[in-house]
Chains A and B, each alone.
Chain A
Amino acid sequence: MARIAIDPTLDAVMEFTNVSLRMPRHRRRRGGGRRQQIRRMAGEVRRDEIEVLTDISFRIEPGESVAVVGPKGPGRQALLRLAAGTLRPDSGTVRRNQPVVPMIEVARAFARMYTIRQNIYIVGGLLGMTPQQIEGKLPAIAERAGVSNMLGRYLNAAPPVMRQKLAWTIAMSVNADAYAIDQTLVVGDRPFRQEAWTQVDELRKQGATFLVSSDSPKQFRRFCDRALYIADGRLVADTSVPEALAAMRAARQAARKADEAGNGE
């Protein structure tokens, strides 16, 4: 019944075979856009789906840190969600040999009507911790996220940045060996960000596996051994980090040139 079963016999942390995924195009535009709705009713705009990932295959070995890079688009996040098993591919198979912590938009899962302590239990539970584990880690989590003195207060008491920090801290304290991290989760003030990456480093030394989606070259030059370059839903290259960065720069320049050419006319 789970969305993607875990297969302990697999010798890689995860394995994508010919994975394709379509996503609805207007995902976030719920309710808004009356005009869009009217047009849709009139049949002008079809609520279509776009293929965000096409025929992707790769393997990630234990202990590897892999960066997912490429132009902005829904493909990368979808890839992370597939890796974490919160989404299923439309075709192809995703196999994992252990739970992968989905560090994607964790802060959105907080519930406003609950206290911060309750939220730690809820989100921690969703990420796969048992209540007993959370209880043991609660002081450490609260300390790291800087919410020790407001555990009993409602979530509203914590400013958004603090919530993001809390989300990160909870996700990091899950006892897992594999993480799928979206860069947007690494926020907050500078010391916190640095600490966050230091944590990643420590876990890496302990043999944890990471899949990181990031726009910041600095980060993955430091952490990742390998990069998956994804553009227009295709896996263009599965290379080392410097090469992927070069490809990214080249693509960006090409796009800029095309833009300038377009404006010049």
Chain B
Amino acid sequence: MLVLRDLQKKYTRFRLGYLWTLLEPLGMSLVLWLVFSVLLGARALGLQPYLLFLSVAILPWWWFATAIGSATRIWRRTGAQLRISTLPTQLWVMRAMLVALIEFIFSLPVIVLAIALTGFLPGPLIVLFPVGILVQFLLMYGLALLIASASVVFPDVARLVRIVIRAMFYLSPVLYSVSNIPAGAQFLASFNPLVGVLGLYRIGWWPEEASSFIGYGISLGLCIAIFILGLVTFKKFEQRILKEV
């Protein structure tokens, strides 16, 4: 365990460009804000102030997309290390996810900046923000375990995942709010685990986002389900992974 924590430090130290973890999501928020709010004037999209609304979701989204993307390549990078170590195999996935989590936490100042720019302070429900982080972490860990197992049997998973992530970006309420979805589709949307997670982040600023409790229930339940499914699947595939890498 000591070892991994050590590795962790190194990984973060290696990211000399700490600024980039700030600039990347910030830039993305700004671009999207310009396009959707200023140029298209889509006032109906999402909630005000839109810049803050966007960046609160973009950061977790960024975290999600990069970490899941890295899960597809995990054995290519760490395979040789796996071969000489007797540590539990899961730790390698955990390590990749922890690195991503740390990066995410380092990128949080972007939200602070957005608050400063818009002057829109959160309400008491902001306490749910850390809960959102926790749930998202569980979701991502489960997903990463699933993808890591699958990528051993079926290397094409990496490409597939990339497409799915792209699609998820538009299917999740990053650019818009759940209330923008037609009533009929709202129920369907609750089967997207990210809907619940993003809701938890936004609830501090926009309590009206929490309109449908059942929806959030399903969505967050799915996160936990994926987490458990990931643990079970990985256990089943562990031997296969050890042989293939």
- Interface residues, chain A, with chain B CB atoms under 8 Å away: 1-4, 22-24, 27, 30-31, 81, 84-88, 90, 99, 102, 104-106, 108-109, 111, 113-114, 118, 121-123, 125-128, 130-131
Contact = CB atoms under 8 A, between A and B. Distances in A.
A85 B87 CA distance: 10
B84 A105 contact: yes
A225 B14 CA distance: 47
Contacts of B244: 24, 27
30 contacts: A1-B90, A2-B86, A2-B88, A3-B86, A3-B88, A27-B243, A30-B155, A84-B86, A86-B83, A86-B85, A86-B86, A88-B239, A104-B83, A109-B80, A109-B84, A111-B81, A113-B14, A114-B14, A118-B10, A121-B10, A122-B81, A123-B84, A126-B3, A126-B84, A126-B87, A127-B84, A128-B86, A130-B2, A130-B3, A131-B6
A86 B243 CA distance: 10
A245 B64 CA distance: 57
B83 A99 contact: no
**Secondary structure type dominating chain A contacts:** loop
**Secondary structure type dominating chain B contacts:** helix
Chain B interface size, under 10 / 10 to 19 / 20 to 34 / 35 or more: 20 to 34
Contact of B242 (A3, A104, A130): A3
A125 B2 contact: yes
A86 B3 contact: no
Given A86-B85, A109-B81, 17 more contacts: A1-B88, A4-B86, A23-B243, A24-B243, A81-B83, A85-B86, A86-B82, A87-B242, A90-B239, A99-B86, A111-B81, A114-B14, A121-B6, A126-B3, A126-B84, A127-B84, A130-B2
Interface string B1-41: 01100110010001000000000000000000000000000
Q: Which 6 A-B pairs have the closest CB atoms?
A: A125-B3, A108-B80, A1-B88, A126-B85, A109-B81, A109-B80
A89 to B, nearest CB: 9
Contact of B84 (A1, A24, A106, A118): A106
A181 to B, nearest CB: 12
B86 to A, nearest CB: 5
Contacts of A88: 239, 242
Contacts of A84: 84, 86
B141 to A, nearest CB: 15
B70 interface: no
A24 B237 CA distance: 14
B89 interface: yes
B10 A114 contact: yes
A105 B89 contact: no
Nearest to B5: A131
Interface in B74-98: 80-90
Contacts of A113: 14
A122 B7 contact: yes
Interface string B215-245: 0000000000000000000000001001110
A122 B10 contact: yes
B81 A126 contact: yes
Interface in B42-92: 80-90
Contact of B7 (A90, A125, A130): A125
A56 to B, nearest CB: 17
A99 B85 CA distance: 11
B217 to A, nearest CB: 32
Contact of A2 (B2, B10, B81, B87): B87
A98 B144 CA distance: 32
Contacts of A4: 86
Nearest to B240: A24
A122 B89 CA distance: 16
Contacts of A86: 82-86, 242
B241 to A, nearest CB: 11
A3 B245 CA distance: 15
A31 B239 contact: no
Contacts of A99: 86
A24 B239 CA distance: 11
A28 to B, nearest CB: 10
A260 B14 CA distance: 57
